[in-house]
Amino acid sequence: MHASVAAVQFQPRKGEIEANLERIGEIFAQLAGEEPPDLIIFPEACTTGYFLEGAVHELARSAEEYVEELQRRWRAAAGSRRVDVVLGFYEHESGTVYNAALYATLGGERAQLRHVHRKLFLPTYGVFDEARFVSRGRRISSFATSAFPSAILICEDAWHSISATVAALKGAQLVLIPSASPGRGIAGPEIETVAHWRTLLQNTALEHGVYIVYAGLVGFEGGKGFTGTSMIVAPDGRCVASGPPFDECVVRATLDSDAIDVARAGLPFIGDLRSVLPDLLLDQELPLPHGGRVAP
Amino acid sequence: MPLRAIRADGILPEEPLAIDAALVERWLVRFLADELVRRRGIRTAVVGLSGGVDSAVTAYLCARALGPENLICVRMPYATSSRASLDHAAMVIADLGCRERTIEITGAVDGYLQFEPDADGRRRGNVMARTRMLVLFDLSQRYGGLPIGTGNKSERLLGYFTWHADDAPPLNPLGDLFKTQVWALARQLGVSREIVEKAPTADLVEGLTDEGELGITYQRADPILAYLLLGYRDQTLHRAGFTYAEVQLVRRRLESTHWKRHLPTTAMLTNTAINEFYLRPVDY
């Protein structure tokens, strides 16, 4: 099995959902006209911009609304041809707002919303203030797609190694990471946060034998520059494609299931973890609910 | 045979002020282009050139971001300003090939100060700084441009600026760079050595330099500031080679000037107080 993926480094217009969807439609047309990918990944908060503060309540939409908009635009660009899309957005669901990403299959007669991931780890320190404005998700899931079983992690979700561990344990072979990372660190030729991301993604891919596709937002919001630097990392830990800082672009690669099998044969860590995990979870010193005991 | 020891000494990050100047140049040029043109639809920058390194660096960055034809550099001498300041500003303008205005502010400043003849040096300096900002905002209006700030992180943290004057422009590319880092960036941009290497001064009183007035050099103050902001304690800085007197001097300035880095304090009376409850980002 193989799949052609495209991570889009996207620069939104702040708060202008319609204009950003129009731009996404243009990108659809470009990709459909070149070598149509099987999967397109857009960054976190890409229809509105990231730093919204209280305006998030004015700009959050439902996943279904976005799927409808995306379907219309993909159909205009590519007709009935199918494509999977990941889109980071602020979600409004039953009166609650989340930082979310949807996974949908577009094309054909009807679009299919396969999954919505709601960010669990809401950065609320320094320049970040997410927990003040949005609610957190509660679950990391692996879900079926047109190609690889996949999981979505949004930005800080991926900084906690346990997130990708849970995704891999649940069967994900492809971890999709929409992100909006404001760059910091000027001591070396590469932005420090970009270097950290690369190390993190390479280690995560290597540990679990998974593909990682990371799509980064670009552009400046109130002085904060989102770095982009989208990356596609193979299950052996190699970064096979990456985008430059600050520029819009599309980062593409073809993913092959053989690479996952080969990587896991060489480093069978996820299999090892499956066998050891029950002992780890039964450890009563772990700060779990129920007074440190795992519920029977 | 004894084992070879490999040691890591010291707690502090070794080079808290290290910068890759080429990276910073690219980053700030992008910042200016994005914030001015893409977000605001403004293609013209207005920079007040003092003859010092901060405003020179700002001008070079603006010229890179917008093209020299879209940069207006403004020299605003007062009667007592040094000739060297004017000449250094002229060097920048000539090197960049940008547009230029020279507005003598003596008449405006003295027009007010004639009613306050006893004003001391600090007050006179503040009046000059605020007059210069009045000029920059007005010329920006005339040329359809935006005034660009030149304040660096060192002077912002030490409170060494005139509130609602030097800090007034809506965009500031240098505000997160310490003075010593601005020097490194200046060399990267090709700013004349004469400008980079001269003693920093507000040029308000003849012979008075920033470092003379502050009581500490930027070479000493900048790492102390950097470590304090990271959260290191005085004792740790002392062990790293800074005197308690130096650390205290810097800490006192830092901790007595938080107010200068904020908007005015507004009485909160409702659940919709602006910037307290009603929170919207600057670019929304």
pLDDT given at position B80: 93
The residue among A46, A76, A72, A71 whose CA lies nearest residue A59 is: A46
| Chain A residues lying within 8 Å of B24, measured CB to CB | 186
CB pairs A-B closer than 8 Å: 60
Express each pLDDT in A160-181 by its tens digit.
Answer: 999 999 999 999 999 999 999 9
The residue with greater pLDDT, A262 or A296, is A262
Is A246 in contact with B30 (Cβ distance < 8 A)? yes
Q: Are B237 and B224 in contact (CB under 8 A)?
A: yes
pLDDT given at position B13: 78
**For residue A166, what are its two tokens?**
């849970």
pLDDT given at position B15: 85
Sequence-distant (≥ 6) Cβ neighbours of residue A259 within 8 angstroms: A211, A234, A235, A236
Q: For a pLDDT cut of 70, what percent of chain A falls above it? A: 97
Q: How far is A218 from chain B (nearest CA, A)?
A: 11
pLDDT given at position A103: 98
pLDDT given at position A290: 63
pLDDT given at position A291: 59
Note which residues in 102-121 of chain A have CB less than 8 A from chain B: none
Using CB atoms, pick whichever of A55, A187, A225 lies closest to residue B31: A225
Residue A285 confidence class, pLDDT cut points 50, 70, 90? confident
| Chain B residues lying within 8 Å of A15, measured CB to CB | 284
CB burial of residue A244 (10 Å; 0-12, 13-18, 19+): middle
Q: Which CATH architecture has domain B21-204?
A: 3-Layer(aba) Sandwich (3.40)
Is A126 an 8 Å CB contact of chain B?
Answer: no
Residue A211 confidence class, pLDDT cut points 50, 70, 90? very high
Residue type, B125: G
Q: What does the mean pLDDT of chain A come to?
A: 96
| Chain B residues lying within 8 Å of A221, measured CB to CB | 281, 283
Express each pLDDT in B135-164 by its tens digit.
Answer: 999 999 999 999 999 999 999 999 999 999
Is A246 in contact with B27 (Cβ distance < 8 A)? yes
Is A55 in contact with B27 (Cβ distance < 8 A)? no
| Residues linked to residue A177 through DSSP beta bridges, in sequence order | A214
Using CB atoms, pick whichever of A54, A187, A191 lies closest to residue B278: A54
Q: Taking the CA of residue B271 as centre, how many other CA atoms within 13 Å lie in the half-sphere pointing to its CB?
A: 0
Specify the length of chain A in residues: 296
Ranges of residues in chain B whose predicted pLDDT is under 70: 9-10
Q: Are B42 and B170 in contact (CB under 8 A)?
A: no
Q: Which of A148-152, A174-178, A194-198, A286-290 has the lowest mean pLDDT?
A: A286-290
Give chain B's contact residues with A (Cβ, < 8 Å).
15, 18-20, 22-24, 26-27, 30-31, 34-35, 38-39, 278-284
**Euclidean distance between CA atoms A273 and A162, whole angstroms:** 12
Sign of CA dihedral A29, A30, A35, A38: negative
Residue A39 confidence class, pLDDT cut points 50, 70, 90? very high
**Euclidean distance between CA atoms A54 and A65, whole angstroms:** 21
pLDDT (mean) for A174-200: 97
* Cα angle B59, A14, A160; round to 5: 100
Q: Are A180 and A156 in contact (CB under 8 A)?
A: no
Tell me which DSSP letter residue A183 carries.
Answer: -
Residue A59 confidence class, pLDDT cut points 50, 70, 90? very high
**Euclidean distance between CA atoms A46 and A27, whole angstroms:** 13
pLDDT given at position A288: 73
pLDDT given at position B29: 98
Tell me which DSSP letter residue A231 carries.
Answer: E
pLDDT for A206 beyond 80: yes
Sequence-distant (≥ 6) Cβ neighbours of residue B70 within 8 angstroms: B43, B44, B45, B62
Express each pLDDT in A6-16 by its tens digit.
Answer: 999 999 999 99
Using CB atoms, pick whichever of B20, B279, B280 lies closest to residue A186: B20
pLDDT given at position A292: 59
pLDDT given at position B159: 97
State which residue of chain A sits closest to B30, comparing Cα positions: A246
**For residue B195, what are its two tokens?**
């400008």
pLDDT given at position A294: 55
Q: How far is B215 from chain A (nearest CA, A)?
A: 28
Residue listed under structure tokens 């003598």: B104
Using CB atoms, pick whichever of A187, A220, A221 lies closest to residue B15: A187
**Euclidean distance between CA atoms B72 and B46, whole angstroms:** 5
Which of A186, A193, A226, A227 has the most B C-beta neighbours within 10 Å, making it the best mutation to test the interface with B?
A186
pLDDT given at position B206: 74
Express each pLDDT in A78-113 by its tens digit.
Answer: 999 999 999 999 999 999 999 999 999 999 999 999
Q: How far is B230 from chain A (nearest CA, A)?
A: 12
Q: Taking the CA of residue B36 as centre, how many other CA atoms within 13 Å lie in the half-sphere pointing to its CB?
A: 31
Domains annotated for chain A, with CATH where assigned, are 2-267 (3.60.110.10)
Residue listed under structure tokens 């409850």: B277
Q: What is the DSSP string of A39-103?
A: EEE--TTTTT-S--GGGHHHH-B-HHHHHHHHHHHHHHHHTT--EEEEEEEEEEETTEEEEEEEE
Q: How far is A136 from chain B (nearest CA, A)?
A: 20
Express each pLDDT in A136-161 by its tens digit.
Answer: 999 999 999 989 999 999 999 999 99
* Cα angle B251, B252, B255; round to 5: 80
| Chain B residues lying within 8 Å of A53, measured CB to CB | 279-281, 284
- Own/partner contacts of B234-241, CB < 8 Å, gap of 24 or more, are B236/B11, B236/B12, B237/B12, B239/B11, B240/B10, B240/B11, B240/B12
pLDDT given at position A87: 98
| Residues linked to residue A228 through DSSP beta bridges, in sequence order | A245
**For residue A104, what are its two tokens?**
């949908």
